[in-house]
Amino acid sequence: MNQQTLPDREFMYQALLNRDSQLEGIFYFGVKTTGIFCRPGCSARNPKKENVDYFASVQKALESGYRPCKICSPLDKPGQAPGWLKKLLDEVHANPENSFKDEDLRARHIEPTRLRRWFQKHHDITFHAYIKALRINRAFEKMKNHGDVTSTAFDSGYESLSGFHAAFKSVAGISPSQAKARPLVTITKLVTPLGPMYAGASERGLCFLEFTDRKMIDYQIEQMQTRMKARFVQATTPVLSEVESQLEEYFDGKRQEFDLPLDISGTPFQIRAWQALQKIPYGETRSYQQQADQTGNSKAVRAIASANAKNHIAIVIPCHRVIAKNGGLAGFGGGVWRKKYLLDLEASH
């Protein structure tokens, strides 16, 4: 990110005053009087506005002579699982049916309180709630394929059918016997250079990818649950792991096309609009008028803008490549400054 794509200085100063961790990775700030640079969510004492420099990357801050803060550790990738946690997460994802009691965690040299705090901060749920969601997610998939509730319950690590039924209903919102008739969407939080994103995948493919600070994000998720008649469960799946991997390649400039299964739901016109978006080549832009022409309705410019605003799979369905007829960036759900970043990124590669 270059300096031109940073958010407004007043916006960034308010973010650091509010210790807004949602903006970590989007900018860093250096304090002239101490020579130290931090993340926006740093808990250190707030500096005066005139003593603050802003940087788009850790590299820029270091090149300007600032030292990393020992409190917020800006050299670590924001939101990424720390070294002490990675091995445990690999184990949990491989075998969520296993038990992970406090004594089991301590045997792995992990303090349970520290673990709970990390999960609450980065996933908004406890570690054990995360494991339960993983178990139910796997169980949901097994019952979709085989329909055997009893064997699924015991294979998922539950010692009784009643315990399995209670856990399943608390997570999925339906009983195990209803699983075949209702889709499940697994949602997780991903780390990107532009801030965290929610990614959601059904059994058909990626259906949701949005920045977590987008306006009315909770309402959007509720709308999708209603439209898809699905239940959103926080966990992860192989599809979501692939989404994370391909996004990382995209931001590193190593990927120009996404190869992901998509589960797109909308009106026929919205779907045509989103299909037109997917045909815009990497590094190029189109006007709303050109996109309307491509859908076969050249007078539907306003409807095109509305459809783009309702695209729930950001970046992969590239609505950021549509600009105003006069060349202006116009609107973007994640913020115009993010749109500029994405266009600059693609233009540079």
Q: Which two tokens stand for residue 116?
A: 């709970």
Which pLDDT score, from 0 to 100, does residue 79 have? Answer: 63
* Distance, first Cα to last Cα, the chain: 13
Which pLDDT belongs to residue 4? Answer: 44
Integer Cα distance of 228 and 175 in angstroms: 18
Beta-bridge partners for 323: 287
> So what's the pLDDT on residue 191?
83
Spatial CB neighbours of 12, under 8 Å, sequence gap ≥ 6? 6, 23, 27, 29, 40, 54
Write down the pLDDT at residue 169.
Answer: 76
- The widest CA-to-CA distance across the chain, in whole angstroms, is 66
What's the confidence (pLDDT) of residue 244? 93
Q: What is the pLDDT of residue 78?
A: 61
Residue range 3-68, CATH number: 3.40.10.10
Cα four-point dihedral sign 144, 145, 147, 150? negative
pLDDT for the residue numbered 329: 78
- Give me 342's structure tokens: 């994405």
> For residue range 73-107, what is the model confidence (pLDDT) as tens digits?
887 766 667 778 888 988 888 888 888 889 999 99
Catalytic residues: 319
* CATH classification number, 83-177, choose in 1.10.10.60, 2.40.70.10, 3.40.50.300, 2.170.150.20: 1.10.10.60
Residues 107-133: tens digit of each pLDDT: 998 999 888 888 887 777 888 888 888
Distance, CA of 215 to CA of 78 (rounded, Å): 22
The full set of domain ranges for the chain reads: 3-68, 83-177, 183-349
Return the pLDDT at 349.
81
> Crossing angle for the helix pair 301-309 and 288-295, nearest 10 degrees?
100
Sheet holding 231-234, edge to edge: 206-211, 197-201, 184-190, 231-234
Answer yes or no: same fold for 3-68 and 183-349.
no
Burial class (CB in 10 A: 0-12, 13-18, 19+), 72: buried
**C-alpha distance from residue 7 to each of 28, 36, 99 (Å):** 11, 21, 45
Residue 80 contacts residue 123 (beta carbons within 8 Å) = no
Residue 194 has, within 13 A of its CA and on its CB side, a CA count of 29
Show pLDDT as tens, one digit a residue, over the chain (349 residues). Answer: 334 468 889 999 999 999 887 777 788 999 999 999 999 989 889 999 999 999 988 778 877 888 889 888 887 766 667 778 888 988 888 888 888 889 999 999 899 988 888 888 777 788 888 888 888 877 777 776 666 777 777 777 777 778 777 877 777 677 777 666 677 888 888 888 787 889 999 989 999 999 888 877 888 888 888 888 777 777 788 899 999 999 999 998 999 999 999 999 889 999 999 999 999 999 999 999 999 998 888 888 899 999 998 899 999 999 999 998 887 777 777 788 788 889 988 998 8
CATH number corresponding to 183-349: 1.10.10.10
pLDDT of residue 3: 42
pLDDT at 5: 66
